[in-house]
Amino acid sequence: MQILREEGFRRARPYQATEPQIRTLRQHRYEYFPQWRFFEDAHNEYLLTDFAHNGSLMLYAKRQIDSYCMEIVHLVSTHTNATLVGFPVVTAATKLWREEALFIFAGIVEAVVYMHSKGVCHLDLDVHNVVIDSLGCPMIVGFGRGEVADEDGLVGRSRPILCKRPYAAPEVYAHNRNVKPSSGVDGRAADMYSLGVILYWLLFMCPSEGAIIDPVRSDPRWLLNLIHHASGNFDSHEDLNCAICQSSIPLDAEIIQLLLALLSKNPADRVSAADLSTITRTLYNQLHGDTSTRNQAVLEELHNCA
């Protein structure tokens, strides 16, 4: 943390009780990391950080999609147009969430660009180690398993890389099976693979009544299914568990290419954070309108397309 942000609380993190009309990426990339202070006594060590008003990305996503669904149902029920009977509420909520998810992802990419420029590799990026502040912007936390890469960009020499299995790159699996003979892995490339899993999760997570249906954990073939959709080869495809097949909104070709660039089996073929940022900053750098305004716009868009 010391490398990413100097110790101390110098400025109150912005709090906004009402939604801004336009959400934009942070002006300074270090703002995607919490302010912090370290304390210790004779028995324990303590790390005090900024408060993330909206909690983890996983919990925030569920709340937002539930909110979108309820707001759309309310708009449909109060609308005077009889043709709105049977309106596709889930499709509307999915569309609204994907717009926000891509904005959040763009913020995560900005954080990783800054982190990697300092030589820091997180090595445990997932939806639990991203939190959301009151402005709806992400912060990366949970650096207990991170490491500063050596001159060759490698991490994990002679030690296992502790991370959550669904988000770990293939080379991390191989490294952890044979730690002693391993010379380490490319830490930045490993983080980029984790970013790809986060992006897939953001696009296809599905809240049910209660728990979230995780599209990665619930489908062991999710990556293979993605490759099938990208290549158009469905000979061995299982559409019953495929989140892409079950989604009410098809994926844009550019997003499929982003996913493939992040999830390549070969670390050398993965896109870098800096190159990815040139895409996400251009396409997903703003989110226009508060929830009510965006809900109304999607309602009218889908109604006109019906």
Look up the CATH number of the domain holding residue 123: 1.10.510.10
Residue 238 near residue 221, CB atoms below 8 Å = yes
How far apart CA 265 and CA 90 sit, in angstroms, is 33
What sign results for the dihedral spanned by CA atoms 119, 132, 202, 18? negative
Confirm whether 45 is domain-assigned. no
Packing angle between helix 187-204 and helix 273-283, nearest 10 degrees?
30
Confirm whether 5 is domain-assigned. no
- 180: tokens are 């002693």
Write down the pLDDT at residue 117.
97
Write down the pLDDT at residue 261.
97
How far apart CA 233 and CA 225 sit, in angstroms, is 10
Distances (CA, A) of 114 to 38, 122, 136, 160: 22, 12, 19, 25
Domain with 80 in it? 53-305
Confirm whether 22 is domain-assigned. no
Confirm whether 208 is domain-assigned. yes
**Domain count along the chain:** 1
Mention every residue, 6+ apart, whose C-beta is less than 8 A from residue 202: 57, 61, 98, 101, 102, 104, 105, 127
Confirm whether 16 is domain-assigned. no
Write down the pLDDT at residue 210.
62
Is 214 catalytic? The answer is no
Confirm whether 7 is domain-assigned. no
Longest Cα separation, the chain: 70
Confirm whether 3 is domain-assigned. no
Phi and psi at residue 262, in whole multiples of 5°?
-85, -35
Q: Is 120 helix (H, G, I), strand (E, B) or coil?
A: strand
Q: Is 300 helix (H, G, I), strand (E, B) or coil?
A: helix
Per-residue pLDDT in tens (0 to 9) along the chain, 306 residues:
788 988 888 877 777 666 777 888 988 999 999 998 999 999 999 888 888 889 999 999 999 998 898 898 888 888 756 556 667 888 898 999 999 999 999 999 999 999 999 999 999 999 999 999 988 899 999 998 999 999 999 999 989 999 999 999 999 999 999 888 888 999 999 999 999 999 999 999 876 666 678 899 989 999 999 999 998 888 778 777 888 988 888 888 899 999 999 999 999 999 999 999 999 999 998 888 888 889 899 988 887 876
CA dihedral 15, 18, 22, 28 (to 10 degrees): 0
Q: What angle do CA 220, 224, 230 make, to 5 degrees?
A: 145
The helix or strand, by DSSP H or E, that contains position 164, with its residue range, turns out to be: none
Phi and psi at residue 16, in whole multiples of 5°?
-130, 115
Length of the chain: 306
Write down the pLDDT at residue 76.
83
Q: Please identify which of the residues 124, 186, 191, 219 carries the catalytic annotation.
A: 124
Question: 45 - beta bridge partners?
Answer: 40
How do 286-288 and 22-24 pair as beta strands?
Answer: antiparallel
Confirm whether 33 is domain-assigned. no
